[in-house]
């Protein structure tokens, strides 16, 4: 089994004449908790969109567990074991919290299309199993008591937690978190730190997150990649990143 979970080799993405990502290369090893940081517009979410097949790579290669994924559709990449959350929430606001998670969990159910629309055969047992699994995931993120609440009525920080639960329902090996602490207050960010570390450990996940809260990144991510204007400018430990002159200049706005 390869130690490398995700590998980008000289990846480029151009939109017309604009290079959003230029010659991007890095590796994420199996079991890592890593971060991708950089100023607004640096190309971080574009990287996630390339990994998950939302965009096609202009040049270069992306591998997930030694399988080239840069020409695969999003649903195929998801089926291989990649799940993500989004910078802008993508919940079903008019559905319950529980239904949001069950929708994702149903991807793994083996019953047929006919059983699904007729509610016969294996459907009833499978649906009950999915409900139990989804409730257990909601419990892990602190939302079990809100299972029947409409997702759109949750406070913003709890909607972020719901997105994580829904991603976990896909049974990923690689979890991509796009600004999970966005919109949270200091206490919520602290609680999120604990949640990310716990699911990383308990679910045996490899996690790559995009985050602007440096207290999140520096406290939980031993491996950090920093980019600016679509290119990698630094990679290393929190201490190395904090003291890298290019990071200080580009990300923190300092020259010395």
Tens digits of per-residue pLDDT, 111-154? 555 565 666 556 567 778 888 999 999 999 999 999 999 999 99
* Separation of alpha carbons 164 and 175, rounded Å: 9
**Percent of the chain scoring above 90 in pLDDT:** 66
Summarize pLDDT for 63-96 with one digit per residue, the tens. Answer: 999 899 998 999 999 999 999 998 777 898 999 9
Query: Confidence class of residue 227 from pLDDT cuts 50, 70 and 90?
Result: very high
Q: What is the value of pTM for the model shown?
A: 0.88
Contact 95, 104 (CB under 8 A): no
Summarize pLDDT for 164-193 with one digit per residue, the tens. Answer: 999 999 999 999 999 998 888 888 888 989
Please choose, from the candidates 238, 255, 237, 40, the residue with its C-alpha nearest in 3D space to the C-alpha of residue 246: 255
Strands (DSSP E) found in the chain: 4-15, 18-29, 33-37, 59-64, 67-68, 82-84, 174-178, 206-210, 223-228, 231-236
pLDDT confidence of residue 48: 96
Query: Confidence class of residue 248 from pLDDT cuts 50, 70 and 90?
Result: confident
pLDDT confidence of residue 256: 40
pLDDT confidence of residue 124: 64
**Percent of the chain scoring above 70 in pLDDT:** 89
Contact 21, 230 (CB under 8 A): yes
pLDDT confidence of residue 115: 61
Q: Is the pLDDT reported for residue 255 higher than 60?
A: no
Q: Is the pLDDT reported for residue 251 higher than 70?
A: no
pLDDT confidence of residue 209: 96
Q: Is the pLDDT reported for residue 210 higher than 60?
A: yes
Rg of the chain over Cα atoms, rounded to whole angstroms, equals 19
Contact 226, 234 (CB under 8 A): yes
Mean pLDDT of 4-15: 96
- Work out the mean pLDDT of the chain and round it to a whole number: 89
DSSP state of 82: E
pLDDT confidence of residue 62: 97
10: left (phi over 0), alpha (psi -120 to 50) or beta: left
Q: Which of 98-107, 176-185, 208-217, 230-239 has the highest mean pLDDT?
A: 230-239
């Amino acid at each position: 089994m390869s130690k490398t979970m995700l590998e980008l080799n000289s990846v480029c993405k151009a939109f017309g004449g604009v290079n959003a990502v230029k010659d991007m290369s890095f590796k994420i090893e199996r079991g890592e908790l890593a971060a991708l940081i950089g100023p607004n517009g640096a190309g971080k979410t574009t990287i996630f969109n390339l990994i998950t097949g939302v965009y096609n790579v202009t040049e270069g290669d992306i591998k997930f567990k030694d399988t080239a994924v840069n020409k695969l559709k999003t649903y195929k990449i998801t089926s291989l074991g990649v799940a993500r959350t989004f910078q802008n929430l993508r919940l079903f606001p008019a559905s319950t919290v529980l239904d949001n998670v069950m929708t994702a969990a149903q991807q793994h159910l083996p019953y047929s299309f006919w059983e699904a629309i007729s509610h016969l055969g294996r459907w009833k047992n499978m649906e009950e199993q999915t409900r139990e699994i989804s409730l257990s995931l909601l419990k892990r993120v602190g939302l079990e008591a809100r299972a029947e609440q409409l997702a759109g009525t949750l406070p913003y920080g709890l909607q972020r937690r719901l997105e994580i639960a829904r991603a976990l329902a896909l049974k990923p090996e690689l979890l991509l978190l796009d600004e999970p602490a966005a919109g949270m207050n200091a206490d919520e960010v602290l609680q999120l730190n604990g949640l990310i570390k716990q699911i990383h450990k308990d679910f045996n996940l490899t996690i790559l997150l995009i985050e602007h809260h440096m207290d999140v990144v520096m406290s939980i991510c031993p491996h950090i990649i920093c980019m600016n204007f679509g290119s990698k400018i630094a990679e290393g430990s929190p201490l190395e990143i904090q003291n890298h002159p290019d990071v200080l200049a580009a990300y923190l706005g300092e020259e010395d």
